Amino acid sequence: MRASHADRDAVMERLRIAAGDGRLTIHELEERIEATHAARTYAELDALIADLPGERSPAAEKARPLVLETRAGTIKQVGAWMVPERITAKVTMGNITIDFTQAVCHHREVLLEATCGTGNITVIVPRGWQVVTENIVTGMGSVRNKATSPAAPDATTLRITGSVGMGDIKIKNPRR
């Protein structure tokens, strides 16, 4: 898979931190930064940080979706968390809240696949994000998008697809 500018920037930051911790010499840092600029794929980026401790590589983070599933309980994905490119939320009778306001998102586009029986899925997005609801099949339930503030020029786009039985999917901005 091809790497983006944001992926290269994340690897360069990890390299700088490693050099600051004494894990890389200045010469190694310069070589790896140069190689990072030239990298085109995740495999090339992964090779540059494979021997360093820390977070997972950009390729591994992109490949791993977040799965939230409940039958009758409550799940809250809130606070500071790393947003993957793909999220699956399935609720039968319970409630799921996904709050992006304090989350760290390095992606220009995030896909949320939402399946809602008689429960509810609430999505809270920061002002400036663009939310697109598409290909959603509804039964007796509803999809309400109240996050209609203008999108920022470099905004993340949240695409929501899926199905709703008798429950609700609510998208909103945080309270002021």
Q: For residue 97, what pLDDT is reported?
A: 98
Task: Read off φ and ψ for residue 120, nearest 5 degrees.
Answer: -135, 145
**76 and 56 assigned to the same domain:** no
**110 and 32 assigned to the same domain:** no
Mean of all residue pLDDT scores within the chain: 90
**52 and 94 assigned to the same domain:** no
Alpha carbon distances (Å) from 52 to 5, 16, 46, 71 = 21, 11, 10, 40
Is it the case that residue 57 has pLDDT exceeding 70?
Answer: no
Reported confidence tier of residue 56, pLDDT bands at 50, 70, 90: low
Q: Is 148 helix (H, G, I), strand (E, B) or coil?
A: coil
Instruction: Show which of 60, 83, 98 is a domain's final residue.
Output: 60
Please answer whether residues 45 and 58 qualify as being in contact, where contact means their C-beta atoms are separated by less than 8 angstroms. Answer: yes
**50 and 85 assigned to the same domain:** no
Domain count, the chain: 2
Instruction: Show which of 29, 45, 60 is a domain's final residue.
Output: 60
**18 and 97 assigned to the same domain:** no
Strand 157-164, strand 130-138: pairing: parallel
**93 and 157 assigned to the same domain:** yes
**75 and 21 assigned to the same domain:** no
**75 and 54 assigned to the same domain:** no
**24 and 96 assigned to the same domain:** no
**48 and 109 assigned to the same domain:** no
Answer with the residue of higher pLDDT: 21 or 43: 21
Range of the domain at 153: 65-172
**164 and 145 assigned to the same domain:** yes
Residue type, 77: Q
Is it the case that residue 55 has pLDDT exceeding 70?
Answer: no
Q: For residue 159, what pLDDT is reported?
A: 97
Please answer whether residues 169 and 114 qualify as being in contact, where contact means their C-beta atoms are separated by less than 8 angstroms. Answer: yes
Please answer whether residues 93 and 118 qualify as being in contact, where contact means their C-beta atoms are separated by less than 8 angstroms. Answer: yes
Please answer whether residues 112 and 160 qualify as being in contact, where contact means their C-beta atoms are separated by less than 8 angstroms. Answer: yes
**45 and 73 assigned to the same domain:** no
pTM equals 0.67
For 91, residues 6+ apart whose C-beta sits below 8 A from its C-beta are: 69, 70, 71, 75, 115, 116, 117, 119, 120, 121, 167
Residues 42-68: b if buried by 16+ CB within 10 A, e if exposed:
bebbbebbeebeeeebbbebbeeebeb
Please answer whether residues 130 and 103 qualify as being in contact, where contact means their C-beta atoms are separated by less than 8 angstroms. Answer: no
Instruction: Show which of 60, 78, 94 is a domain's final residue.
Output: 60
